[in-house]
Chains A and B, each alone.
Chain A
Amino acid sequence: MNNNSNLLKGGMGVVLLILSAVILVVSLFVALTNLGSQGHASFNTSSTLPWGQPIATYLYFALASSGLGLLASLPLVFGFKQYYPVAKRCVFLAFVILISGMAVLALELGNVFRMLWAIPLNLQVQSAMFWMGVFYALDLLFLLWKFSKLDAGEWDSKTSKQVGIASFIGVLLASGNLALIFGMMSMRPFWFDGLLPIYFYFTGVTSGMAALVFFVYLAHGFSRDRMHPTLQSLLSGALPKMFAALIGGTLLFIAARAITGVYSNNPEIHLVWSDYLFASSLYHLSLWVGLLLPFLLMLNGNFRNQAGVQLLVSVLVFLGLFAERFYFVVGGQVVPLFKGTWYPDMIAYTPSLTEWALTFVGWSLALLLIVLGERFLNLSAMPDGVAESTSARPLAAG
């Protein structure tokens, strides 16, 4: 693979590096200044709605990371060799996106440093949040280990395979458990759903795919001509079809949740859909423009394979699923819980400047780390056999 084809190694990378660093410094400054002077009163969350946009941001990043981890397992665990050209980039993106999400979560907590000793020393194994710490720590470790193996060119060694399988299991446990943090809360009927892990896996892979497509194109200056033939082949073959299927599946999941929600007489589910989600023009925008439009575009065989369409779809899905996470987290809390007529209406919540700053901390940190990775690591690497194979012929699975 010719490293020079990666535009981020050149001037464009420097520009993006500076841009992301500036956004990171400014947003971090705003967040830390406000948190330092006002504490968490600088958030628009409250005792009646304790989890806001920073949690949604963390959820988005954590699930996008898990989705990327699952995509990496296609070639590395399940032998879908046509996905080798994106495997290393998937693992790297999964790692840095998870780091960025964790940074946002850390700034959301009341006492972040206390977490470092209080969680491991008290071993509250009944808490899904305890397991979130365990599984995501393992996830990070395995991603790093797997990346180091790939970076050393060990694609098919026994250890590499074992680490790949361990990482795959780690991703399933981490994101499935993250779903159960919400899904096991029977007192919050909008979230309470034993199949929520499946929903999180599916939507996580979709957001991971959106991130992957966007950053693959970014690395190659939004031009498919600069890509290795095997990567070109993937982007005009198996990958867009899978992307289309993932968006379609995500829409099906949302439709199933919406239909059961609207049908239910339980106001804690029904009202969330009718008076909060479907009453919000932003939610409609995220649903129809962020998910349905991309799906329709990707259904068409001609559109699907065009670089511009793929790029547009990746951005729309990226934003659409971010909104989806936001409305999921907030939607579970908008019906006042046992507050009587003191709270006669649904709880209104709009993120504060500090909360938006934290979201930008996450995005800019992720972008910074990604550009650094693109500049200093060869993320387009793939096994020699795959790189040398005939570019025009799609590689068979197995």
Chain B
Amino acid sequence: MAKWGMVIDLDKCTGCQACTTACAMENNTLPGESWQDVLFYHEGEYPSGQMKWLPRPCMQCEKPSCVYVCPTRATYKDENAGGIVFVDWNKCIGCKYCMIACPYGVRFYADEKPLIEPDMREVYPGQNKQLWSPPYQNPDEDWRRGIGIQPPGVVSKCTFCYHKVSKAPAGTVDFDEDNPAVKEYVPACVRTCAPKARYFGDLDAPDSQVNQLIGDKHGVRLKDHTGNKPQVYYLGAGAGVPAFTPADKGDKS
């Protein structure tokens, strides 16, 4: 059985946010509801100041703390779907405990103040129980897996583009956007990545490209001390996430 994983090479990432945009287009997310985001870290000062770009999808953890805290099993890890963590919008009661428990801050409660004006929910008011109904919508919708546009009062998150990945031919282990045979099934963030910093494939297949990259290039998982064991690995320099420092208290050392 497949175990879907993602590898992100930080030495290649340019912070262009194409992945973030592609995700928003693919999944019809609201501004600020960034299932996929590229975090920007600023650390240190001249002459050793650093700037880091850190693409951040849902980590689809092997031990997802969000799943354990959900009182209704609305959030669940589906081993039959490659270990992707889904939110069943028919069961979510909007308690937001999963958002508290996720160490990676990758869950969204879009029933909140708009990030930008005009409020897209007012421009395109929700129909058929949707929170908002833009004129273009991805036709794929599966509320049991949190795919599509959510109803009000539920939590949403990255699905590794399961609506695409699940349609791949059986036995696919490498989702290479340059391979015409599988490119339609590649997650939107991976397919759009211009510097080809992202890879997607089967972590359970010994010969998969993701496994080779993790082994050869010393892939690491973020916040490993939490024990959540992400299915997303990072390569290259810059995977060390600096501790929070308020802007007015920069590192003076």
Of B106-114, B135-143, B172-180, B202-210, the segment with at least 4 beta carbons within 8 Å of chain A is B106-114
Name the contact of B153 in the complex, choosing from A40, A47, A266, A346 (C-beta under 8 A). A40
CA distance A148 to B121 in the complex (A): 50
A129-B97 in contact given A119-B72, A340-B41, A342-B39 (Cβ < 8 Å): yes
Q: Which residues of B contact A271 (CB under 8 A)?
A: 244, 246
The interface on chain B, measured as residues whose beta carbon lies within 8 A of the other chain's beta carbons, has a size of: 53
Q: Which residues of A contact B153 (CB under 8 A)?
A: 39-40, 109-111
Q: Which residues of B contact A110 (CB under 8 A)?
A: 92-96, 109, 111, 152-154
Q: Which residues of B contact A380 (CB under 8 A)?
A: none
* Residues 74-116 of B at the A interface (beta carbon under 8 Å): 74, 91-97, 99-114
CA distance A41 to B100 in the complex (A): 18
Do residues A115 and B100 form an inter-chain contact, with CB atoms below 8 A? no
Do residues B93 and A111 form an inter-chain contact, with CB atoms below 8 A? yes
Q: Which of A48, A109, A114, A267 has the most CB of B within 10 A?
A: A114
Q: Which residues of A contact B54 (CB under 8 A)?
A: 340
A185 is an interface residue with CB less than 8 A from chain B: yes
Q: Which residues of A contact B74 (CB under 8 A)?
A: 118
Interface readout for A164-190 with B: 1 if CB under 8 Å, 0 if not? 000000000000000001000111100
B71 is an interface residue with CB less than 8 A from chain A: yes
Q: Which residues of A contact B56 (CB under 8 A)?
A: 338
CA distance A228 to B165 in the complex (A): 74
Q: Which residues of A contact B154 (CB under 8 A)?
A: 110-111
Do residues B95 and A129 form an inter-chain contact, with CB atoms below 8 A? yes
* Binding site secondary structure of chain B: loop
Interface readout for A306-350 with B: 1 if CB under 8 Å, 0 if not? 000000000000000000000000001101111111101110000
Do residues A333 and B244 form an inter-chain contact, with CB atoms below 8 A? no
Do residues A127 and B244 form an inter-chain contact, with CB atoms below 8 A? no
Q: Which residues of B contact A112 (CB under 8 A)?
A: 93
A44-B113 in contact given A185-B100, A336-B244 (Cβ < 8 Å): yes
A268 is an interface residue with CB less than 8 A from chain B: yes
Do residues A114 and B245 form an inter-chain contact, with CB atoms below 8 A? no
A244 to chain B, nearest CB (A): 35
A333-B41 in contact given A39-B153, A40-B153, A124-B70 (Cβ < 8 Å): no
The interface on chain A, measured as residues whose beta carbon lies within 8 A of the other chain's beta carbons, has a size of: 52
CA distance A185 to B103 in the complex (A): 9
Q: Which residues of B contact A43 (CB under 8 A)?
A: 112
Do residues A187 and B226 form an inter-chain contact, with CB atoms below 8 A? yes
Do residues B39 and A344 form an inter-chain contact, with CB atoms below 8 A? no
A50-B96 in contact given A267-B244, A338-B103, A346-B246 (Cβ < 8 Å): yes
The 28 listed contacts between A and B (C-beta, < 8 Å) are A40-B152, A41-B111, A41-B112, A47-B32, A47-B33, A47-B108, A110-B109, A111-B94, A115-B93, A115-B95, A119-B93, A123-B73, A129-B69, A129-B70, A129-B97, A181-B97, A185-B101, A187-B102, A267-B244, A271-B244, A275-B246, A335-B244, A337-B102, A337-B104, A338-B104, A338-B105, A338-B223, A338-B241
A→B interface (CB under 8 Å): 39-41, 43-48, 50-51, 109-112, 114-115, 118-119, 122-124, 126-130, 132-133, 181, 185-188, 266-268, 271, 275, 332-333, 335-342, 344-346
